[in-house]
Each structure stands twice: as structure tokens, then as C-alpha cells.
Structure 1
Amino acid sequence: MNGFKTAMLLSALTALLMVLGYTFGGSGGALIALIAAAGMNFFTYWNADKIVLRMHDAREVDAASAPEFYGMVADLARNAGLPMPKVYIVETDAPNAFATGRNPENAAVAATTGLLRMLSREEVAAVMAHELGHVRNRDTLVMTMVATIAGAISMIANFGLLFGGNRGNGGHAMAGILAVVMAPFAAMIVQMAISRTREYGADRAGAEISGNPAALASALAKISGAAQRIPNPVVERNPAAAQLYIVPVGLSELFSTHPKTEKRIAALQAMQGGITPASAPARRPSALDPLNRNR
């Protein structure tokens, strides 16, 4: 099913690029946009995870540099029946987490230092189980490609307005302005169509992997408000990155790529008692570990 979603996503975003190309350069511009889109799709398929991690200045950690956090992810990955993903920490006060990678064999999960400081150990485990749920459900390819390609569409639209909208032709200038407004909006519609249902699936998978839907519900409640209050520089630069996170950032409900957090919490609370608890991850304290702190 996700292969079909990916194909539909690429087709929709390629069409948006061609519309932009035609708006600013006629049939020749549309052809150039098609060629550029083909190259972009190929490059993004193989490199979207690297782009996303670099976008966040994510720092890879291992069993030596962050033993408790890394060990927690390792235990959860075993519970999920997944290969061990790469593990990253993002230095920012904004509490959030995301997963990336084109398949479970090439996956990575990341958490911010703000999230690690804010949540209890059980809540962090539940959040990371949610991200591993995205990996198991093979959502990560769609998520990372949307973030990179939709961001490129916004950038191209603004570039076209700057260099293609001042040709003395009022109709063409107006079309250019409309393209700048509508192309990012259309890309956001594509994001929302794919993103909202997948969050419920990852919540359920995360509850099964961690065995603790109540902890995931509690984590969502804690970080959803803080994620709106605390600035996120990555999303400010590239709004398309917002759909990567476990909770929405800086978007109204109308334009959010996620269901309402209250609905997700209610669904998780309804699961309580119906989830078989997973084995508790062993505690691995270390003075270097972001999770090793007094509570």
C-alpha cells in the first residue's frame, strides 16, 4: 500500500513542479521541470534521510555516547522485530521526535534534547516506539520524500516569482503570484492526505511495541503544547518538515498534517488493557546519557 502512496505522491508533486515550470516558462519550462522532477525524485529516494538529518543538524549516538537512550531504542527495535536503526539526537529545546529512511534496513530515529529532558523514561520509550511504528509500517519513505520535495516546491515557487514574474505582462505576473501562493498550498494538501491516517497507525504500533499506550498518551499531552510554544528553527525555514514530527508544529488544525492530539490520546486510552505489555527495556545509566538525570 505504501508503494502505491509513494507513487501517487511523486506523481502529484511532479505535476505541481510541471505547473510551476509552465507558469514561468511555458511548454519549455514544463519540460525542464519534468526533467528536474525526475532527477529530484531519484536523488530524493536515495538521499532523503540524509537531507532530513542534515536539515536538523542531527548528531548520531551509539552505545558509548548515549548508552541508555541507544539501549532503549535497541530493546524496542527487538520488540518490534526490526533491524537496529541508527539513532540521533537533535540539540534543540523544542520537544519532538521523528523517523526517517527509505526502508527498515536503512532507518534512523531521532529525538530532541528538549523531549529527552521533558519526558519520563517510560514516555520517551513510548515516543520512540511510535517512531519505530512508522518504520515498521514503512511510512518513513513517504514522510521524508514529502518533506524534501514539498520544501523544494516552495523554494522553486518563490524563485519563480523573483525571476519570472516581472516580464511586463500583467496576466503572466498574476499567474506567477498565484503559483507562488497555490503550489505550497497544494503540496500541503498532498501531505495531509497521506499523513493523518498514518499517525493513528503509528500510535497503535507504538503502543504495541512499548506495551504502554498510557505513556504514549501522556507524552503526547505533554509535548503538544510545548511544541507550539517553543520555536522550531527547522520548521521556520522549511514548513514541510512539520509533518515528520510526532506532534504538529506551528500549524492550525485546518492545515495540520496530524489528527488532533486529543483524538489520538482518546484512541490510545481506549487501547489501555487491550495491549499485551512488552518486556521492559533494561536500564543503562551513564553520566553521558541525556536520559540519566534525577527526576
Structure 2
Amino acid sequence: MARTRYAPDRGLTSRMLVTMFLLGLVYVAFVGAFFVLVPKWGVIALVVAAVFLFAQYFLSDKLTIFAMHGRVVTPEEAPELHGVIDRICALSDAPKPRVAVADTDVPNAFATGRNQKKAVVCVTTGLLRRLDPVELEGVLAHEMAHVAHRDVAVMTIASFLGVCAGLLTRFGLEAGLWGGFNRRDNDQNTGLILLAVVAVSAVAYAISFVLTRALSRYRELSADRAAALLTGRPSALASALTKVTGEMARIPSRDLRSAEPFNAFFFAPAFSKGASVATLFSTHPSLEKRLAQLQKISGQLGRGE
């Protein structure tokens, strides 16, 4: 991992370690309960989970770009976008990521990839149309901060348990609704075992969901701070945040719904009109909190602190 000039964040590092430790405990308990309840399927479940984690970790950049209908662009195809990325790389002393563009009017950007060598920074055509170069620089510095802080890889691993538990909960409920909860085999109440698997999976999903959301909110604040300090222009990032959030209200609900699964990766969350998301379940801190932090940084820079 190459060192960069992005401001280190010990708070983010400690939160990542604590979250991964707690998720590890939940994972051990989850697997142990699974082996006790359904020992015949324990090994198969572990193999499937390992394959899933491998694909999610090593192919996250390709899968995310494909899902967002993005494509990697050359400096000849997008000279201005590459120019902004080159300036950020010069400021941060970070290796240049691949640059991609997604053809959607949803104004947003995201970074993906397990490390700096595999990183991809993607912007949407909607974002390019709405931001000026200084605002765009702030957004891209924010995304590259995610890569520099390793939190793209950490969030991929952290979300793994929640995805597996969520799938088991869903499949278990569907099987139960088709009569599985009332089934008996060889004098064993298979229905009760299935119900127990669903309950354990649901608890594991709920715990991992809350932990990863809390970490996600903090990493967004950390990336805002790192980008503002690197560029020395917190007001530009604040302007981009305000503009993107405001423009989101004008996007058709259909387009927002298709983008919502990627909210954890986005610069700003895309929610359908009328959506009400509790702070506990949000992937991003509130706009007010992010702007307040940037205003504080602006004051510190003005005083030369």
C-alpha cells in the first residue's frame, strides 16, 4: 500500500478495527450456530460463503462498474476528467486509479477496488454536467481518500456477513412460506430447525447492518475531511455536496431506485422521492453534519491552524 499525503485518520482506523472485531465475533457465532442447527449443510455453506467472499473482494471493481453500466475512459476520451484526477494524484502523491464514466443523469461518483493498484474512480455524466472543475476536484479528492484509507476493501469485507445472513434469511423465509415450517423428517421437527436458522440469520444480519452503517457514516466524514485538507478548498466540496443533494430531487424516481443499491459507495446517497431513512440505517451522515464539518475546517484553514 503506497503512502499518500492524505491526512491520516486514527479515528477511522480504530473504528475499522473495532467493527471488524465485532463482526468477526458475530461471524463465529453465526457459523457455530449454523453447524449446530444444520451440520450436514455446514461445510457446503462455508464453501459457498468462501467463494462468494472471494468474488466480492477480488472482483468488486469489475462487478460494480458493470452494474452501474460504467466504462473505463482514456485521457483522449475524457481529457478534462483525467486532468482533474492527475492534479489530485500530484497533490496526494497517490498512484493514478483507472477512470470510468457511467452514463446516467443521477449526479454522483464512487470509488471501488480492493487497493490502490486496482482502484477505479467513476463519475456519472449527470455529475459532469452539473459541477464546475473546482467542485469536481473536491468530489474526486473525496473518492480517492476512500481508496487511500483502505475503506473500500474494509467495507467490502465488512458487508460480507450481512449479505450472507440476509440471503439465508430470505431463502429460509421463502422455504418456510412454502410449507417448510410445518415439515417433519425422521422424527425431527425440520420446521423448527428452519425457523431457528432464519432467526439466527436475521439477528446476524441486523447486527452487521447496524455496525457497517455506523462505519460507513464515519468514513464519509473522514473522506470529506481528508479531501478538504488536501485541496485546501472545503467550500468547493461543500458547494458540490449542496448542489448534488439539491439536484437529486429532480431525478426521476425510476433512475433513483436503480441507483439506490450502490448508496454505500456513492459520494451522496440517492433516495427515491418520499423515502424516509432513519439516521441509524443511513449509509451517509446528514448533509447538515457534513457541511458543518467543512465549515469548521474552512475556519481552521483561515486561521492557519
TM-score bracket, normalised by the shorter chain, equals 0.7 to 0.9
Letter of the 1:258 partner, please give it.
H
Whether contact under 8 Å (2:217, 2:283) holds in the other structure is yes
Which residue of 2 is the match for residue 247 of structure 1? 268
1:217: which partner in 2? 238
Task: Please tell me whether the aligned partners of residues 21 and 32 of structure 1 are also in contact (alpha carbons under 8 angstroms).
Answer: no
AA in 1 matched with 2:283: T
Kindly indicate whether the alpha-carbon contact (under 8 Å) linking 2:89 and 2:96 is maintained by their aligned counterparts in 1: yes
Instruction: Number of aligned residue pairs: give it.
Output: 272
C-alpha distance in 1 between matches for 2:109 and 2:25: 27
Report the AA paired with residue 56 of structure 1. Answer: M
Q: Deviations over 1:41-83 (max 9, x none)?
A: 3333222222222221211111011110111111112211100
For the Cα contact (< 8 Å) 1:224–1:247, is it kept in 2? yes
Unmatched tracts of structure 2, length 5 or more: 1-12, 184-190, 272-276
* 1:185 lines up with 2:206 in the alignment: yes
Aligned partner of 2:56: which letter?
T
Question: How far 1:10 sits from its partner (Å)?
Answer: 6.5
Farther-moved stretch of structure 1 (181-190 vs 136-145)? 181-190
**d(CA) in 1 for partners of 2:258, 2:158:** 15
Aligned partners of 2:217 and 2:284 also within 8 Å: yes
Corresponding residue of 1:73: 85
TM-score (norm 2): 0.76
CA contact (8 A) 1:94 1:232 kept: yes
Q: 1:242 to 1:180 in 2, by over 3 A?
A: farther
Residue 274 of structure 2 is matched in structure 1 by none
TM-score by length of 1: 0.78
Matches within 5 A, 1:1-295: 1=13, 4=17, 7-8=20-21, 11=24, 14-15=27-28, 18=31, 21=34, 26-146=38-158, 150-163=162-175, 166-167=179-180, 168-169=182-183, 171-172=192-193, 174-175=195-196, 178=199, 182=203, 184-227=205-248, 230=251, 231-236=255-260, 239=261, 241-250=262-271, 251-275=277-301
Superposition deviation, residue 271 in structure 1? 1.1
Distance 1:178 1:223 in 2: 40
Q: 2:234·2:298 contact (CA, 8 Å) conserved in 1?
A: yes
Residue 241 of structure 2 aligns to which amino acid in structure 1?
Answer: L
Taking only the aligned residue pairs, the percentage that are identical comes to 36
C-alpha offsets along residues 135-176 of structure 1, whole Å, 9 cap, x if unaligned? 121211123445666445434432332235532156456546
- CA pair 91-5 structure 1, distance change in 2 beyond 3 A: farther
Tell which structure's C-alpha radius of gyration is larger: 2
Gaps of 5+ in 1: 277-295
Query: RMSD over aligned Cα, in angstroms?
Result: 3.1
**Residues 224, 71 of structure 1: alpha-carbon distance in 2 compared, 3 angstrom cutoff:** same
Larger mean CA deviation between 7-16 and 223-232 belongs to 7-16
